[in-house]
Structure formats: structure tokens, C-alpha cells
């Protein structure tokens, strides 16, 4: 899918392109390619003179492979964007190409973004840019606004995680944590721990991308201040995610503690039952001896007496344990 975005009266408008002829009719500031076909890549190359690298979606982590400037003036930024999907949380790699220097190419002043799937941050920016005239003025504003929206998206996700952790805390701190509840709580905590880690990694990646843009001196004074504000927002999120990890660890420890208590209760019951059966076993063992002279062997009530003695020797310890509260 190939979409171009143009500015009109300070608003960002989207057009879906289905042919090279349609592409030539627009003067966009942003060209978005989602899972581009070879034909769409060819249109971009023919009209803008821009060749999209085949390795644009590679998962390189070193900075030199993700943030660099070509000899022809093209600025390359490869950044990850968060997708808060309950079933499959993940990050999506997006490659940005921006030419702000080479006047010989039609790509000058146009931001190109390449990614394999739809990104929620992109949808949020499109909605905001249509409703807020003047938010976007050029291609650099688009890129900065994407990173700013990404930071807000991460903040909203952190708030959602915190709200869910509050519900989990209510369950855990109620003290009535059964094995079923503990299993549900641990599954929820594990999901939130994984998502918090993804948020922190995404924030680190966004911070690196914004810092790279600031180092290239491509930003105006106003845009430079916007970039600094994005970094401040990311710094403030760091403390929130750190607190989130502490809360997650606390709830994890508390839940595991309740699981251990439940297991100890079961073990305690088995231990008490074992101890209570020792006296009957002793009585049975005594009357199972093969001595010739045992007074009860020839007694008519010897068998009922032995059974009653075994029952009584089992009941007395159970009554004693119950009074001491060891069976609760």
C-alpha cells in the first residue's frame, strides 16, 4: 500500500496511490509505504529518484546501521514503534528516509516511511494532523510528531498497565488467593512485565533517533526545542516504568508467597494426619507380635478392644491438634 500526504490549509490529507500517474499529480511531504510491492517501489524510484534499500527492515541494533546519512544527502533513520496488542504485543521496525539537501532530486523535503504492517502511532498522527491545523509544516515536523506521538502512545500504555496492576493488587492483597487466582495473577503479571520491557526498549530507541536528528543540525530552532521536549517526556517515562517494574516484582513476590502458604497448608494437613496415625499403628504393631503369651489373645473382647484402642489413639491427637489450631 502506498499513501501520500499533502498539506492544505495547514492540515494533512491522505491519498492512496494506485498508479504512477496518480503519484505524479501530488506534491506530498510524506510518502508512506506499508508492505510495498516491487511495483510501488519502482514508482517511487521513477518519480522521486529514490531507491529503497532492500535491507531497510533488517533488525540491526548497532547505531551506525540504523542512523546514518548517505553521500547524496539522504538521512536514514530506522526506528521501532510499539503495538499494544493484548494477544501479541510487539514492536514494528520503520525505516525513514529524508532528503533535505539535494535539490537535484524530487525527493527533497519529502519524508518516506517503509514498514511491514500498520502502526497505531501513524493512525493517531493522521487523525491529529487533520483536526489540528498548523501542527505539521514540513517533512521534519512529520518525523518529530511521529516520535512525539510514539512517546504519548507509550505513556498511555503505561497508564493502562498501571490500572490493570491496581486490579491485580486488589485480588492479591485481599488475602483470599486460591491457586486459580494465583495462576491468573501470575499470567497477568508476566504479560505486563513483558510489555513494560518492550516500552522501555521502545523509549530507548526513540531517544536515540531523536538525539540523532538533533546532532545532524537539520532542525530549526523551534523543532530543536520540540525534540528536547520529546526527550524530557521520555525521561519522565523512565521513572514511571521503573516504578512499574518495582510494583510488578512486589506483586510477583506476594503471589508466590501466597502460593507457598497454600502449599504449606496442604503439607501441614498431611503431616498432622501422619502423626495422628502413628499411635494406631503402634497398637496394631503390638498386637501383631507373635509372642506365645499375650493376655488379650484368648479374651472374647480382645479384637473389639484393640480396634477401639486404635480409634481412640487416633482421635485423641486429632482433638488435641484441633484445639491448638493446627488443622486450620
Beta-sheet strands, E only, within the chain: 2-8, 11-17, 30-34, 67-69, 74-83, 90-99, 111-115
Q: What mean pLDDT, rounded, does the chain reach?
A: 81
User: Nine-digit cell at 81?
Assistant: 514503534
Top-confidence residue, 143 or 66:
143
Lowest-confidence region among 21-25, 58-62, 103-107, 294-298: 58-62
The reported pTM is 0.76
Q: Confidence class of residue 229 from pLDDT cuts 50, 70 and 90?
A: very high
Whether the predicted pLDDT of 325 surpasses 80? no
Please report the pLDDT score of residue 300 as a whole number: 78
Lowest-confidence region among 11-15, 52-56, 114-118, 178-182: 52-56
Whether 227 contacts 143, CB under 8 Å = no
How far is the C-alpha of 164 from the C-alpha of 89, rounded, in Å? Answer: 16
Q: Which of 187, 128, 132 is nearest to 153 (CA)?
A: 128
Lowest-confidence region among 51-55, 62-66, 103-107, 127-131: 62-66
Whether the predicted pLDDT of 296 surpasses 80? no
What are the residues facing 92 on neighbouring strands? 81
Please report the pLDDT score of residue 61 as a whole number: 58
Amino acid at each position: 500500500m502506498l499513501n501520500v500526504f499533502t498539506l492544505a490549509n495547514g492540515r494533512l490529507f491522505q491519498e492512496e496511490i494506485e498508479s504512477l500517474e496518480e503519484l505524479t499529480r501530488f506534491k506530498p511531504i510524506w510518502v508512506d509505504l506499508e508492505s510495498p510491492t516491487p511495483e510501488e517501489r519502482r514508482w517511487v524510484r521513477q518519480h522521486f529518484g529514490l531507491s529503497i534499500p532492500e535491507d531497510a527492515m533488517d533488525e540491526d541494533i548497532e547505531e551506525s546501521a540504523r542512523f546514518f546519512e548517505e553521500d547524496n544527502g539522504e538521512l536514514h533513520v530506522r526506528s521501532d514503534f510499539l503495538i499494544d496488542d493484548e494477544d501479541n504485543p510487539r514492536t514494528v521496525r520503520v525505516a525513514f528516509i529524508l532528503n533535505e539537501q539535494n535539490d537535484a532530486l524530487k525527493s527533497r523535503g519529502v519524508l518516506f516511511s517503509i514498514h511491514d504492517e500498520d502502526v497505531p502511532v501513524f493512525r493517531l498522527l493522521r487523525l491529529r494532523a487533520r483536526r489540528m491545523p498548523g501542527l505539521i509544516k514540513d517533512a521534519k515536523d512529520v518525523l518529530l510528531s511521529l516520535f512525539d506521538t510514539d512517546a504519548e502512545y507509550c505513556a498511555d500504555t503505561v497508564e493502562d498497565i498501571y490500572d490493570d496492576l491496581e486490579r491485580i493488587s486488589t485480588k492479591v492483597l485481599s488475602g483470599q488467593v486460591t491457586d486459580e487466582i494465583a495462576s491468573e495473577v501470575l499470567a497477568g503479571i508476566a504479560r505486563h512485565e513483558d510489555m513494560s520491557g518492550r516500552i522501555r526498549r521502545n523509549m530507548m530507541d526513540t531517544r536515540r533517533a531523536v538525539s540523532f536528528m538533533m546532532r545532524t543540525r537539520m532542525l530549526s530552532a523551534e523543532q530543536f526545542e520540540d525534540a528536547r521536549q520529546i526527550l524530557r517526556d521520555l525521561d519522565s517515562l523512565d521513572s514511571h516504568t521503573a516504578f512499574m517494574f518495582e510494583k510488578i516484582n512486589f506483586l510477583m513476590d506476594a503471589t508466590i508467597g501466597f502460593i507457598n502458604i497454600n502449599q504449606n497448608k496442604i503439607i501441614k494437613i498431611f503431616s498432622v494426619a501422619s502423626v495422628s496415625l502413628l499411635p494406631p499403628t503402634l497398637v496394631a504393631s503390638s498386637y501383631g507380635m507373635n509372642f506365645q503369651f499375650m493376655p488379650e489373645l484368648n479374651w472374647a473382647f480382645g479384637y473389639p478392644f484393640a480396634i477401639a484402642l486404635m480409634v481412640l489413639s487416633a482421635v485423641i491427637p486429632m482433638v488435641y491438634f484441633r484445639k491448638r489450631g493446627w488443622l486450620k
